[in-house]
Structure 1
Amino acid sequence: MTNEIDTFTRYLAHQGRSQNTVDSYRLDLETCTAYFQTVGINQWATVDRYAIMNLITHLQKQGRANTTINRFLSSLRQLYRFLIQEGLVKTNPLTLIHQLPVQIDQQSSQTVLKNDEVQALLQAPDTSQPLGLRDRALLEMFYATGMKVTEILQLSMDQLHLDLRVINFQGDHGRARIIPLSPTCCEWLAKYLTVSRPQLVSDHEPFVFVNAHGHHLTRQGIWKILRQQTNAANLKRDVTPQLLRHTFVADLLTNGASWQGVQSLLGHTPTNTAYAQLLTLSSQELIDLYDRYHTDI
């Protein structure tokens, strides 16, 4: 099992992850490995759902906080995605394992979508149609970034860098920030940009999301899309951009991200100079933070 951890962490380093991120993954995975070996599990391919559940119980008995356990689960998910990608294992034992509930400071009173509701919403659009493909890309963007409506409306083609999985966003007052994207979001954006958007745009249109006439999508248009797809998904509540933003934040915090890290991803700029320095992360550090704590559904 150690060999696979070595291979995985070398892969992370090759991908440009910071040394702190690589070390953090290794420490989490070695902790999990130590437990598995005490119960006679010596290969990642033989870890099943029940072994993961027993690991959770073991960590709870050690007095680990749910946020810490969720971080271990997140590390294991990333490892198994890599192992499946490399053909080293066939299945992911964490597929049916949910994150543990946590009390989310400053967000505990906010209603958020559950994972199955997010899945239903994302899968609601008819992606065989140009507008349905646009809607899927738009919903993926909301869930993957936590961006505000005004930010998504301002998003232009030259700010998208799907090869790097980032948006180089130029916000209000000319302030620039990096917004990481999930692999799934990039996949649907690429489909929309190559298949659907060329069928919709009539003239040169710099903005990413357009309406049925090929013109810049409006705020009212986004609300209409959310209502339509919420109904198509059979969700018994109003899905708003604010709800999707809260869901993005709650997912990060539940997976163990710090509130300071979440604020960095949201692009918040504190007025306190010393505090601002804590939130000044490099592009790669933001991507590391995002990949570690965001659930790519």
Structure 2
Amino acid sequence: MYQSARAVMLNAPIAKVWDMVGDFHGLPKFHPLIKETKRENGGLWRRDMFAGVDAGSLEERLHYSDRAKCYSYRSLNAGGGAWPIDSYFGKFKVWSRGPERTGVLWSAQMIPTDPEAGADSLTAQLVENQTVGLSGLVDHFGGAPLPVPEHAYAASAIAHLNTTPDQVWSFVGDFFQIADWITIVGTVKKVSNGRRFVKLKDADQIDVETELFRDDAARTLSYDSRLEPDSSYPCDDYIANLKVWPRADGTAGLVWSGQFTPTNPDDEATINTVSDMMASEYRASLEGLVQQFGGNMVSNQAKPSQQPLAVSV
């Protein structure tokens, strides 16, 4: 839901590509729509100034791994504050496809302020931004588009619940009480404000999860998961979002969505397995809330087209 991903293969070794892509402030080096990036907050934030547009998008770098060649970031005012969304997260992943070949994956996800208003135009803007930016890399290094799997490394589930949005939010919005409704969670330990250890049922796996963004007025939260080294999930990065909104009849809508960065973007079989696990977990948990509050599950929105990039090589 409201997610996109694009990828290219470049004719250059991974060290050269990561030197450019991994520079949080280096978008103007390859993205033709961004004329400059201004450093703010000691370099932890960047303000992307788009060519021909006065408004700048202020963004904060989050998880960064030189070893895994990936990083994620959060927009503090997506589209210069012009987009009707509550939050936005983007991710870059670079991986080797041989001595002189490198893959680059750029994915993004967002939470719309009104999930029932439709987001075709917003999704189209995500896709265009990724397409143009990655085309700039192809122009610089040479290369070709890579097809992106239909699932786009993501899953989502939506439910309409026969109770008020405030009641739903008081239940699912408690960051430390997820064992009450997420079916696979066994126990949760509060480490600090906004940080928890999550132990899954029937498993030794422990996930370290951090609240990245919270807006109680908008009934929205986002969190990431840092998996333990022996985790069965082959992911470098995972960010998920919860959003509760008021429907026209006074009842509540709830969407749980998430997107991950695969450790090996070429391993489509494993990626499909992880996506299916996410989708199953999301749906089972929301079905439990439907049983508790009444209501119904809603079919997931159609995913955006994941055709290869239309760039010349």
Normalization by structure 2: what TM-score? 0.29
Higher helix share: 1
Task: Compare the two structures and name the one with the higher strand fraction.
Answer: 2
Structure ID, larger Rg: 1
